[in-house]
Amino acid sequence: MLEAIVAVFVLTIGLIGTAAALSYAVHFGAISRNVTIAKGMVVSSIEDIETLRNSRRLSFAQIANVGNVVNTGSSVVFTGYVTDFQDISLGPGPDGVAGTADDLTDPGPDGVFGTPDDFVNPALVRSGYRRRVIITDLSSSMKKVEVTVQYFGSGGRVGEISGVAYLNDESRTTH
């Protein structure tokens, strides 16, 4: 199962908007903490996508961005990952997948999605971070998954960390 997420994991750290070195030193502690958290978000997002593939909750062709999802032959209709940076939610929303347009939907007092008391809940936003998931088909059985998390430090600094993983269609390559 480990070989399934074929393995290159690249982390890049870019700080946009440089300031004086002294100021950087002062803020370094806070930035370092943001980097650690953002890195964890990148890794867990990639693992979520791997789990989605392994569990077959979505077909391999459905694991895609908005506009590229192929729902043909699947019992579940998936809308796809949003193609731009969006707020990171504490929950995945009704579709159960983090990174889609419904992430901030709250099931409301009844705790059930799809009922009239559902609402968009800004309190679900993990403030200080935004995420983008880009999935590219390299072939019919291989996808490139790139997850980028932006973090917002003090003084208006924005940092970005990206992780890249290659996801194969396990059902074709194992057994």
Residues that bind Ca ion (CB under 5 A): 92-93, 95, 97, 100, 102-103
Q: What angle do CA 133, 117, 115 make, to 5 degrees?
A: 75
What separation, in Å, do the N-terminal and C-terminal C-alpha atoms of the chain show? 11
Nearer to Ca ion, 86 or 162 (CB): 86
- Beta strands 158-168 and 12-16, pairing class: antiparallel
Least spacing, CB of residue 18 vs Ca ion, in Å? 35
Least spacing, CB of residue 129 vs Ca ion, in Å? 16
Least spacing, CB of residue 100 vs Ca ion, in Å? 4
Nearer to Ca ion, 42 or 133 (CB): 133
Nearer to Ca ion, 94 or 166 (CB): 94
Alpha helices in the chain (DSSP H): 21-55, 170-173
Residue 144 and residue 116 in contact, taking contact as beta carbons nearer than 8 Å: no
Nearer to Ca ion, 5 or 133 (CB): 133
